[in-house]
Chains A and B, each alone.
Chain A
Amino acid sequence: MCRQISRHELACEEAKARMIRCCPGFTGEALDCEDTSGEIMGCNQVEIDLADAHCVTDRSCEALVAEGVCTRAIQNFNGGPSGTWNSRICALP
């Protein structure tokens, strides 16, 4: 558990809130932004990494839908039986 507000956690929560607002059908049930790695590990182990989180928050709602970010987010993070797992949903390698 990280004792301070980490950059990764806050970016993840912002991205999650944006996808709930912009992506119809996205509930984010399985997207946990709480970093359980601890201070020693650097407090950077969340399910959406920094590049992906910034990619989401930098895009408009229309762009998130059009570029398939919402579809990948629903596949990965809506809970229940998931579809194809992508390690990233927005900032694709």
Chain B
Amino acid sequence: MRASAAVLALLLAAPGRADEPEWRPGSARLALEIAAGGEAAWIQYVPVHGPTGSLALVLAGRPRDGAPRFRAKFHLRGRMGETPEGLQARDVRLGGLLGIDVGRFGFGLGPELAFVAVERVGPGEMSSDSLALRLAADASLWESPFGALFLELTGSFETGSRQQTAALLVGYRFHLR
């Protein structure tokens, strides 16, 4: 918590967009991302595939021409899915990623809390809540002063149910500041 606050303060302490001569791609320092796509997952070696979505707040360092800049992303993710025998599986993640932006590309790595549930045959469900590690890479496909369309490839490993995931999402990043 203290580390997150320090990162946030560091990112916001740098001069804002008012100091920048003009807008250029990737110059936003605070953004809201909404994305949707598909995710393939394996819970205890049982495949579970389904639609996924994410909502994220992105804080980025001051843009400098050609130089990579740090960024922090806080996200809420979810996935619905089904096992081969039709058991419904839910997955909700809350986490953060630290990474860098290089031109149109971004990379991140970070921990998240994972809440996973698979329904039983009949009443009840199996569930787990544990830590997961996430890796993500994204690329801006199209940018404007108001936002950017991006493609994200991300994967995670969760300790509780030994779930591994791989997802491809398309989203829009709204530039807030």
Contact = CB atoms under 8 A, between A and B. Distances in A.
Q: Do A and B bind each other?
A: yes
B45 A5 contact: no
Contact of A33 (B121, B127, B130): B121
A17 B86 contact: yes
Interface string B108-122: 000000001010111
B18 interface: no
B161 A4 contact: yes
A34 B86 contact: no
B126 A13 contact: yes
A4 B116 CA distance: 9
Given A11-B46, A18-B85, A4 B130 contact: yes
Contact of A14 (B83, B127, B130, B162): B83
B15 interface: no
19 contacts: A3-B128, A4-B160, A5-B44, A5-B160, A6-B126, A9-B126, A10-B44, A10-B83, A11-B44, A13-B85, A13-B120, A14-B83, A14-B84, A16-B121, A20-B121, A28-B122, A33-B120, A57-B84, A57-B85
Interface of A: 3-7, 9-11, 13-14, 16-18, 20-21, 28, 33-34, 57
A70 to B, nearest CB: 15
Given A10-B126, A11-B46, A33-B121, A17 B161 contact: no
B10 interface: no
Nearest to B117: A5
Contacts of B44: 5-7, 10-11
Nearest to B120: A13
A3 B130 CA distance: 10
Contacts of B126: 5-6, 9-10, 13
Contacts of A13: 85, 87, 118, 120-121, 126
Interface in B102-149: 116, 118, 120-122, 124, 126-128, 130
Contacts of A3: 128
Nearest to B116: A5
